[in-house]
């Protein structure tokens, strides 16, 4: 080996073994080098016993998968490139032509679009059920029902469904249940043990939200307890070619140790701010599942407990005397709260929603605004809301 180009590629130096530091190393790979032909022939990408190709995992992604499985109270985790991809992955793994999937009427919008788009194109039908009424779900479960999605609370409208009753029903009827756990985040409740003997089969979480917490990473996770179910999900994962970058996995690993503290801090601040808003005459209703009087509060109590936690996310309904233009102006008058989708980062966010574009059966008198509370000082955020409410006119 004389040419420098070759020597730079096939360099003999190996750093000393035994390095340890507080953070997990970033391993990046498409190619993974095998020690022998026998090792190539014996490769096993499904049991996480070794390394075969970048798509099938590196020490960095395996480590993150194990930690997210622990966070959710599950046994197996698969990482995908976004929260929406985790929802898509469950459907693409478990459904086939002729199957029917049931979605709550208030489901995360893009999940609805996936069912109406690609799943429908594949000959997979769907129905929307009333998430607050287990009898409605029971009536819709039929011989073709293969998957029931659950979400708690509902995106934007924040009503908390009777999760225990819904999950129990799925179990009794032998239908696989999947819960979008982006809001509980593995902290507010354990989706696999909602009540003694009652839990869901699959959880999908947008790691984009609390696990990342930075507003700068997109990632999702699918977690299960059952080995056979995991293997089905993993085989589809391999065939679809989803992968996450080592750098992104490292960012989430770096944020995980502070996640419980951030979740609690955002929860405290959000409740203080929501209480303050609830006292204002401009606001008709606060939609926060931990608040008595908010839709499904008793269901939140059932799974989270009286001292339970909640994400730093809530919505308010403005009094009907304010036009949408006024509500929009309120949102734009905010200085610390920024206008933007997603949530659970350090930055507080606000989005005005037009409910008639989201729901069939719900048209509140006043405009709905959703807040994601970040890590700014609570009093500063309240002062910002105060000045923007004054700008309502
Ligand atoms: C944000 C979100 C998702 C999707 O996550 P992305 O990483 O943005 O694709 C899915 N479900 C819920 C409830 C969410 O809030």
Pocket test for ligand 1, best of 152, 208, 289, 344 (most atoms within 8 A of CB): 208
Please name which of 287, 309, 298, 281 lies closest in space to residue 106, comparing C-alpha atoms. 287
- Residue 356: pLDDT above 70? no
On whether the CB atoms of residues 287 and 157 are closer than 8 A, the answer is yes
Percent of the chain's residues with pLDDT above 90: 93
- Total domain count for the chain? 2
DSSP code string of 260-276: HHHHHHHHHHHHHHHHH
74 and 175 housed in the same domain = yes
CA dihedral 57→62→68→69, nearest 10 degrees, is 100
**Strands of 125-129's sheet, edge to edge?**
76-80, 220-224, 202-206, 176-180, 145-151, 100-104, 125-129
Answer yes or no: do 312 and 274 share one domain.
yes
Residues 152-177, buried b or exposed e (16+ Cβ, 10 A)? bbbbbbbbbbbbbbbbbbbbeeebbb
| Claim to verify: residue 163 and residue 241 sit in the same structural domain | yes
Judge whether 244 lies within some domain: yes
pLDDT at 262 over 90: yes
Residues 83 and 119 in one domain: yes
Question: Measured between alpha carbons, how far is 91 from 88 in angstroms, rounded to an integer?
Answer: 5
Question: Which ligand 1 atom is the nearest neighbour of the CA of 208?
Answer: 7
Higher pLDDT, 311 or 49: 311
Q: At 361, is the pLDDT very low, low, confident or very high (cuts 50, 70, 90)?
A: low
Predicted confidence band at 358 (pLDDT cuts at 50, 70, 90)? Answer: low
CATH for 290: 3.90.1150.10
Cα 390 to middle of ligand 1, angstroms: 33
Residue 15 falls inside a structural domain: no
Average confidence (pLDDT) over 162-185: 98
If you take atom 8 of ligand 1, which residue's CA is the nearest one?
Answer: 83
- Encoding tokens for residue 319? 């009094």
393 pLDDT exceeds 80?
no
- Mean pLDDT, to the nearest integer, of 229-234? 97
- Assigned domain for 28 exists: no
* Shared-domain flag, residues 207 and 337: no
CA atoms of 105 and 137, how far apart (whole Å): 11
Are the CB atoms for 263 and 209 separated by under 8 Å?
no
pLDDT at position 2 is 82
Tell me the three state secondary structure of residue 315: strand
What's the CA gap between 242 and 355, in Å, rounded? Answer: 33
pLDDT average, residue stretch 285-309:
97
Q: Give the model's pLDDT for residue 357.
A: 62
* Mean pLDDT score of the chain: 95
Residues 246, 314 share a domain: no
Instruction: Tell which residue, 205, 231, 234, 230, has the closest CA to residue 219.
Output: 205
Which tens digit of pLDDT belongs to each residue from 38-95?
999 998 888 888 999 999 999 999 999 999 999 999 999 999 999 999 999 999 999 9
Q: What is the mean pLDDT of residues 281-297?
A: 97
C-alpha 196 – ligand 1 centre gap (Å): 28
Residue to mutate (ligand 1; options 115, 342, 344, 345; most atoms within 8 A of CB): 342
Task: Kindly state whether residues 250 and 281 are assigned to the same domain.
Answer: no
Nearest atom of ligand 1 to the alpha carbon of 218: 7
For residue 40, the 8-state DSSP code is H
Domain boundary among 219, 238, 257: 257
> Which residue's CA is the closest to the ligand 1 atom numbered 5?
83
By residue count, the chain amounts to: 393
- Residue 15 CB neighbour total at 10 angstroms: 6
How far apart (Å, rounded) are the C-alpha atoms in residues 216 and 198?
Answer: 35
Residue 6 lies in a domain: no
Contact (CB, 8 A) for 302 and 189 = no
In a domain, 18, yes or no: no
Q: Is residue 9 in some structural domain?
A: no
* Contact 83 CB / ligand 1 (< 6 Å): yes
Helices (H) and strands (E) in the chain, counts: 14, 12
pLDDT in tens, 131-155: 999 999 999 999 999 999 999 999 8
Question: What is the rounded average pLDDT of the residues 199-204?
Answer: 98
Is residue 32 one of the residues assigned to a domain? Answer: no
Confidence check: pLDDT of 179 > 90: yes
From the list 291, 305, 217, the residue with the least C-alpha distance to 255 is 217
Q: Is 109's C-beta closer than 6 angstroms to any atom of ligand 1? A: no
Are residue 56 and residue 160 in the same domain, yes or no? Answer: yes
Give the structural domain span for 347: 258-392
Alpha helices in the chain (DSSP H): 4-9, 37-41, 59-72, 83-94, 109-114, 120-121, 134-140, 163-173, 227-240, 246-255, 259-278, 297-304, 324-333, 378-390
If one residue of 79, 82, 84, 186 were mutated to test the ligand 1 pocket, choosing by the most ligand atoms within 8 A of its CB, it would be 84
Lowest mean pLDDT among 5-19, 41-55, 251-265: 41-55
**Is 22 a domain residue?**
no
Q: Which of 182, 188, 222 has most ligand 1 atoms within 8 Å of its beta carbon, as the pocket-test mutant? A: 182
Average pLDDT of the segment spanning 14-36: 95
Both structure tokens of 147: 């998957």
Question: Cα separation of 13 and 61, whole Å?
Answer: 26
Same domain as 71, residue 218: yes
pLDDT at 137: 98
143 — phi, psi (to 5°)? -65, -20
Instruction: Please tell me the distance between residue 90's alpha carbon and the centre of ligand 1 in angstroms.
Output: 14
């Amino acid at each position: 080996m004389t040419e420098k180009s070759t020597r730079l590629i096939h360099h003999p130096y190996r750093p000393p073994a035994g390095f340890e530091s507080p953070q997990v190393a970033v391993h990046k790979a498409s190619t993974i080098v095998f020690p022998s032909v026998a090792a190539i022939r014996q490769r096993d990408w499904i049991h996480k016993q070794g390394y075969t190709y970048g798509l099938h995992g590196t020490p960095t992604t395996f480590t993150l998968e194990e930690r997210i499985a622990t966070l959710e109270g599950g046994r197996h985790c698969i990482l995908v490139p976004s929260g929406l991809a985790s929802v898509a992955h469950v459907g693409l793994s478990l459904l086939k032509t002729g199957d029917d999937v049931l979605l709550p009427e208030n489901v995360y919008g893009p999940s609805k679009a996936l069912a109406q788009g690609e799943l429908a194109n594949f000959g997979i039908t769907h129905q929307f059920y009333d998430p607050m009424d287990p009898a409605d779900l029971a009536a819709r479960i039929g011989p073709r029902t293969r998957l029931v999605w659950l979400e708690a609370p509902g995106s934007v409208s924040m009503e908390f469904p009777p999760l225990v009753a819904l999950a129990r029903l799925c179990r009794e009827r032998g239908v696989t249940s999947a819960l979008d756990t982006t809001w509980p985040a593995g902290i507010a409740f354990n989706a696999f043990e909602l009540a003694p003997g009652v839990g869901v089969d699959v959880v999908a979480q947008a790691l984009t939200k609390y696990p990342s917490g930075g507003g700068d990473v997109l990632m999702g996770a699918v977690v299960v307890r059952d080995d056979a179910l995991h293997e089905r999900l993993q085989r589809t994962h391999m065939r679809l070619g989803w992968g996450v970058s080592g750098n992104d996995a490292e960012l989430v690993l770096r944020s995980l140790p502070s996640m419980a503290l951030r979740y609690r801090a955002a929860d405290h601040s959000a409740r203080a701010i929501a209480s303050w808003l609830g006292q204002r005459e401009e606001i008709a209703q606060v939609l926060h599942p931990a608040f008595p009087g908010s839709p499904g509060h008793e269901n939140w109590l059932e799974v989270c407990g009286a001292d339970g936690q909640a994400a730093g996310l809530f919505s308010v309904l403005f009094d009907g005397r304010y036009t949408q233009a006024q509500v929009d102006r309120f949102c734009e008058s905010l200085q610390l709260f920024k206008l933007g989708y997603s949530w659970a980062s350090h930055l507080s966010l606000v989005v005005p929603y037009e409910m008639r574009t989201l729901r069939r059966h719900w048209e509140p008198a006043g405009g709905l605004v959703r807040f994601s509370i970040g890590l700014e000082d609570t009093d500063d955020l309240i002062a910002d809301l105060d000045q923007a409410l004054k700008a309502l006119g």
